[in-house]
Amino acid sequence: MLKKRLAALACLPAFAGCAQPEPPPAPAEVAVPSAPAGSVDRAQAGLAAYRRVCAGCHEEGKRGAPVTGRAEQWATRSDLWQAVLSEHVKRGYLGMPAKGGEPSLSDREVQAAAEYMLSLTHPQVPAD
C-alpha cells in the first residue's frame, strides 16, 4: 500500500501540469505593407529641397514657373515626367536656372524635389 501511495505521489507533478491551461500562442504578426526602404527619407529630402529652393517660384508661379499642385499648368511639360523634369532642374529650363539657382543642391536632392513636386501635381502618375 505504501508503494502505491509513493507511486501516486511520484505521478502528481506530471498530472499537475495537465490541470493548468497552456498559455495562448502569441498573436500572429500582421504583415503591414510598408513604403520601400529609403522612400520616407527620400520624400523628406524632396520636401526639404523643395522648400529651400523650389517653393520660392513654384508656390506662386513666379517668373512663369508652373505652380506645384496645379496639373493644368504642367500640361505642356514633357510626358516623360520624372527623368526629363530632373534633367531640366539639373541643367535649367526656360526661365529656370540650373538647380533652381542653388548650385549646392545635390543630384539626389534635385531628383527628390522633382519626385516630390510630381507626387503633389500628378498623384495618379507612377514614379519612373
Query: Could you read off the pLDDT of 71-80 as tens digits, one per residue?
Result: 898 887 766 6
Tell me what pLDDT residue 86 has: 84
DSSP state of 64: G
Is the model's pTM score more than 0.75? Answer: no
Q: Among the ranges 5-14, 56-65, 115-124, which has the highest mean pLDDT value?
A: 56-65
Please give the domain boundaries of the chain with CATH numbers for all domains. Answer: 39-121 (1.10.760.10)
Compute the distance between CA of residue 82 and CA of residue 87 in angstroms, rounded to an integer.
9
Amino acid at 113: A
Q: Are 115 and 108 in contact (CB under 8 A)?
A: no
DSSP state of 106: -
The two counts, helices (H) then strands (E), for the chain are 5, 0
Radius of gyration of the chain (CA): 31
Could you tell me what percent of the chain has a pLDDT over 70?
Answer: 64
Q: Rounded mean pLDDT of the chain?
A: 74
Q: Which residues contact 122 (CB under 8 A, 6 or more apart)?
A: 71, 74, 81
Tell me what pLDDT residue 84 has: 83
